[in-house]
Amino acid sequence: MGIAELVDGPLWYFSVAVFVVGVAWRLARIIVAPARTEFSAVSSHAAGGAAAVFSRFLPRREMRAASAYQYGWGYLFHVTLFILLLFGRVHVEFYEARIFGFSWVTMPDWLFLLVSELSFAALLMLLLYRAMEPVTRLLSTRGDYFGSILILLVMLSGCMAMDQTAEPLRVIHLFLAEVLLIWFPFGSLMHAFLFVPSRAYTGAWFGRRGIAA
Amino acid sequence: MNKVPETTSFEKGVDAMKAQIDARVVSYLSSCVRCGVCADACLFYTETEDPRYTPIYKTEPIRKVFEHEYSFWGKLGARLGLKRPLQESDLADWETLVYDGCSMCSRCSMVCPVGIDIAYVIRKVKEGLAAAGYCPDDLVHAAERAIQIGSPMGVTAATLRATLRAQEKECGLPIPLDVEEAEYLCLLSSGEIAGYPEFIGSLAKILDHAGVSWTLSSEYFEATNSGVQLGSTPLARQLVERIVDVAEKLGVKTVIMPECGHAYSTLRWDAPNMLGRALPFGVVHVLELLETLYADGRISIDAGTDARLTYHDPCNISRRGGVVDAPRRLLGALAPNFVEMREHGAMNWCCGGGGGVSANSRAEPLRRRVFAVKKRQLDELGADMLVTACSNCRNMLADGLEDHEMNTELIGLTELVAENLVSDEAGSVPPVNPSA
Ligand code: SF4
Ligand code: SF4
């Protein structure tokens, strides 16, 4: 079996399996961890925790100026990433062939490249911030850098492989995407799922007291 | 009687932290993206710009325990020597970060984009540090006094009685003590008895005016909980049990928590979970009670002050307690020139002295430094009068005003209400004078 067959075949299935099982395992860890029963009497003006799952998509008024950099570049990166994954022609063709068996509307390739550049730039700005700001530099782990650099490489190889004439570039891109899928459940990329229980727990704790968190 | 932890025991600390890892902590510890947003919510970071005061960094010990004990990469990394597990020297380092550099105000918990309640996790770290004996001597001694004498400041029942006699003279009313079957039992903080006894006379005047049946207790009067400040649930539980015992013995329906922040949030929100059952009585903060009496028409208050006045929210009463509107309704009635600080209510800035910081003399220089944020808020408003509802905040604010030579008048809200009570027939009831 050549490298291309390996990447197209077994490694693809393996990476998807690691991703699915890994994510499920990490979510299960939260579900099976001991939960604490709440015995305090709920406030008469209590609110539920669910609101915080949504309200935290935006910074609080008091924090807007201080967190503008992280939110600004963070939003640009996340939104463009979703656009690329959901509406990129090559991606949709891949999903059709490999997963769903049907396709949907895609954006023109020139737009895909433009959005990719924006996404790449946004992630680069976040990575620079991580490496240069004293606070994030102190907090960040090797895994955080690895995850960001891996995504940058996936994007770079993806743009280079766009016209699909250079087969090795396509294989490299798919290979890197598979590494990313395998890495995903083990690092902080899991925030893509875990923001929901974290916000809900916090929202419920404050909501019980009548505070909108 | 439990002994306050004195001996250093690394394993005990690690075990205590392991025991704290519940579903919520797992979710929190697994979802941080290390974006640094929480730093700008914390006065210890904003006023020092030292990244070590970043809220989530204060949780590193429990993150390391979690990673080492429970995560695949953590275990593998430790085996291969790539990850350094928690060490005893870390506990010594984090003792100062957590006890001196965090007032447990929970402001950081309001801002994390992924929703981490960072203060919740810091509280878990304290549990480990306290179990390992890595906690400030001042807090350990305060907890010892609380357990042995019944007051972290060593205030005795005799001191309480003498204070009550003086307050009875001031307000001209008898102050009920150890009355069985009263509707309310009011607890006091030692700080109030020693520093702001006029709170007691003011409350007596208001409750007498409203015809409320209430009592104080000489057997156990302390509202504060040194176990919580220290981070030791076993000690905190013992102190809570004393309150439950005395309230049950007197047969009261509701316990009034005085002008003390953590005392309220502890009894109202944490105590039932420490005991594993609902409390056999209700718990109200004094401001909630005053607001209810006012709303029900049982007390009338005058718009008696035209000072430009603002309110400092004690974190444990507003953000961590949920009592945000009651003081504002009272102030709305009392003071036509009531103005809000830009960050207020659930996003107020802490006075810097919560979470045991005020009782920790080692932390004093840092605590005085971070007061700068409150000074900025006050300067922005140009208020003549600063009202609060926590004797600890009040001490911190008094220190800060003094340090910065600000002549803003400082007062407790209960006193302000008492000063502006309107009697049914004859205008305002005379004020209670602060005792010397
Ligand atoms: S704001 Fe939340 S996600 Fe960001 S570093 Fe702080 S705790 Fe982590
Ligand atoms: S609880 Fe308050 S003092 Fe402690 S880290 Fe959070 S913001 Fe800072």
Domain boundaries, chain A: 1-32+141-149+164-208, 60-140
**Segment (H or E) for B301:** strand B300-301
How many Å apart are CA B350 and CA B342, to the nearest integer? 13
Nearest to B412 by CA among B428, B390, B429: B390
Q: Do B319 and A74 touch (CB under 8 A)?
A: no
Phi-psi region of B213 (alpha: psi -120 to 50; beta: other; left: phi over 0): beta
Q: Determine the CATH number of domain B152-297.
A: 3.40.50
Distance from CA of A1 to the nearest CA of B (A): 31
Mean pLDDT of the region B389-403:
96
pLDDT tens, residue by residue, A37-80: 899 998 888 877 789 999 999 999 999 999 999 999 999 999 99
Atom of ligand 1 nearest to the CA of B111: 1
Residue B138: phi and psi, rounded to 5, are -60, -40
Q: Return the minimum-mean-pLDDT range out of A47-56, B211-220, B224-233.
A: A47-56
Report which residue type is found at A94.
Answer: F
At residue B364's C-alpha, the angle toward residues B14 and B154, to 5°, is: 80
Instruction: Tell me: pLDDT of B4 over 70.
Output: no
Minimum CA distance residue for ligand 2 atom 8: B42
Helix (H, G, I), strand (E, B) or coil at B409: strand
Residue A196 has pLDDT above 70, yes or no: yes
Q: Which residue has the higher pLDDT, A49 or A205?
A: A205
Tell which wins on pLDDT, B72 or B259: B259
Nearest CA in chain B to A135: B51
Q: Which residues contact A102 (CB under 8 A, 6 or more apart)?
A: A96
What residues have CB less than 8 Å from B233, skipping those under 6 apart?
B127, B227, B274
Percentage, residues of chain A above pLDDT 70: 99
Q: Is the pLDDT reported for residue A202 higher than 90?
A: yes
Asked if the model's pLDDT at residue B29 lies above 70, the reply is yes
Q: How far apart are alpha carbons B148 and B141 in whole angstroms?
A: 10
The burial of B327, by beta-carbon neighbours within 10 Å (0-12 exposed, 13-18 middle, 19 or more buried), is given as buried
The angle, 0 to 180 degrees and rounded to 10, between the axes of the packed helices B23-31 and A10-32 is 140
Residue whose CA is at the smallest distance from ligand 2 atom 5: B55
Q: Mean pLDDT over residues B300-326, rounded? A: 95
Q: Is A141 on the interface with B (CB under 8 A)?
A: yes
Whether the pLDDT of residue B294 is over 50: the answer is yes
ipTM summary value: 0.94
Which phi and psi angles does B282 have, rounded to 5°? Answer: -85, 160
Q: What is the mean pLDDT of residues B247-274?
A: 97
Considering chain B, what is the average pLDDT of its residues?
93
For β-strands B300-301 and B421-423, DSSP reports them as antiparallel
Distances (CA, A) of B42 to B37, B106, B206, B366: 10, 9, 37, 13
Query: How close is the Cα of B154 to the center of ligand 2, in Å?
Result: 29
pLDDT of A125: 98
Residue B432 has pLDDT above 80, yes or no: no
3-state helix, strand, coil in chain A (%, to 5): 75, 0, 25
Neighbours of A21 (CB within 10 A): 11
State which residue of chain B sits closest to A30, comparing Cα positions: B23
At B270-290, the pLDDT tens digits run 999 999 999 999 999 999 999
pLDDT in tens, A2-49: 888 899 889 999 999 999 999 999 999 888 888 888 999 988 888 777
Cα A126 to middle of ligand 1, angstroms: 14
Which residues does chain A have within 8 Å of residue B114's beta carbon, measured at their own beta carbons? 56, 191, 194-195, 198-199
Got the DSSP string for A152-204?
HHHHHHHHHTTTS--HHHHHHHHHHHHHHHHHGGGSGGGHHHHHHHHHHHHHH
Question: Which CATH number applies to B10-135?
Answer: 1.10.1060
Q: What is the pLDDT of residue A164?
A: 64
pLDDT at A173 over 90: yes
Q: Is the minimum CB–CB distance between A87 and chain B shorter than 8 Å?
A: no
A45/B322 CB distance under 8 A: yes
Q: Would you list the domain boundaries of chain B?
A: 10-135, 152-297, 309-419
- Does ligand 1 come within 6 angstroms of the Cβ of B32? yes
Q: What is the pTM of this model?
A: 0.94
Which residue from A81, A75, A77, A69 is spatially nearest to A130, judged by alpha carbons? A69
Per residue in A107-131, pLDDT (tens digit) is 999 999 999 999 999 999 999 999 9
CA diameter of chain A: 67
What number of other Cβ atoms are within 10 A of residue A102's Cβ? 8
DSSP B3: P
Shortest-distance Cα residue to atom 4 of ligand 1: B35
What are B62-98's pLDDT values in tens digits? 999 999 988 877 888 888 888 888 999 999 999 999 9
pLDDT above 60 for B431: no
DSSP B431: P
